[in-house]
Structure 1
Amino acid sequence: MIPATSSPSQSLDEYSTLELAQAIAARLSITPNDWHRLKANRKAQAGQQIGSALVFLLKDQPEAALTHLNQAAGWLDRSITAPPCPTHGKH
């Protein structure tokens, strides 16, 4: 918990913009354990892609950022659907 004498912005100032973006991306990432539950959740999928896009943008990798932004847009406009589980269907 942030002490009462400091504001949230003061504690956030301790971190670089990239570190904050990486923390957001980590929070928005879909773990393998959650993949089945969230595979069709468009908000979760788009959020994961946008978090990644922000990290790539801040790392001066605009092409990778754009790829992730396009993926996020696809989830939101319903032009993308979840792929089948990689562990199913294999014999």
Structure 2
Amino acid sequence: MSNYAAFLRKDEEDRAKFDQFVAKGKRRVTEQMLLIEQLRADGHDTTRAEKFLEELRSNLAEWHQTRTDVTQVMQTYELLERTDLAPRRFGVSSSARPEA
């Protein structure tokens, strides 16, 4: 397998991981929101639960941004690859690229 193909596979794996993080994060936010509603309905103080919800939302936003960053890096690399300006630090030469 060429270095380029390995790089592409690694990128796909990274994107899939962040997709999983985002999906789990969304579920956790939803679960926390439901918990807060139940706590309120039962007359409990929700201050700590709401702070935790904000932390969950902050983490989710970071995961979204990281996923976006990974995608942008890959798109930039693909553009450079098409123009034969790919960074050689990945060990990818124009001869290792798949033909378009």
Q: What TM-score results when the alignment is normalised by the length of structure 2? A: 0.35
Structure number having the greater helix percentage: 2
Q: What TM-score results when the alignment is normalised by the length of structure 1? A: 0.38
User: Which has the higher Rg, Structure 1 or Structure 2?
Assistant: 2
